[in-house]
Amino acid sequence: MGEMAERGDETSSDGLLTVEQLNGRIAQVVDSAADLHGVRCIGEVTNVSDSDVAIYFTLTDGEHELPCVVWESRYQNMDVDIEDGQEVILEGSVDYWTEGGKISLKPWQVSEVGEGEQAAALDRLEQELGERGWFDDERKQWPPEFPERVGVVTSLDGDARYDIQSAIHGQDPTIDLLIKDATVQGPDAPRSIANGIHHLDRPEDVDLIIAGRGGGSDTDLMAFNSEEVAEAIFTAGTPVVTAIGHTDDRFIADRVADMAAITPSRAGEYFAASREDFLDGTVEPLDRELEDAYDTYQRQQELSQESRRAAKYKAGMILLGLLLLIVLVLWLVV
- Sorted by where each starts, the structural domains of the chain and their CATH numbers stand as 38-115 (2.40.50.140), 138-275 (3.40.50.2300)
* Coil, helix or strand at residue 108: strand
* Coil, helix or strand at residue 287: helix
Confidence bin at 295 (pLDDT 50/70/90): low
Residue 106 contacts residue 36 (beta carbons within 8 Å): no
**How do residues 210-255 score in pLDDT, each as one tens digit?**
999 988 877 788 899 999 999 999 999 999 999 998 656 679 999 9
Confidence bin at 294 (pLDDT 50/70/90): low
* Structural element, H or E, at residue 56: strand 54-60
DSSP 62-102: SS-EEEEEEEHHHHTTSS----TTEEEEEEEEEEEETTTTE
- Does residue 329 have a pLDDT over 80? no
- Does residue 5 have a pLDDT over 50? no
**What is the side-by-side order of every strand in the sheet holding 259-261?**
176-181, 149-154, 208-213, 240-244, 259-261
Interior/surface letters 76-93, b for 16+ CB within 10 angstroms, e for the rest = eeeeeebebbbbbebebb
Residue 68 contacts residue 90 (beta carbons within 8 Å): yes
173 against 7, higher pLDDT: 173
> What was the pLDDT predicted at 283?
47
* Structural element, H or E, at residue 59: strand 54-60
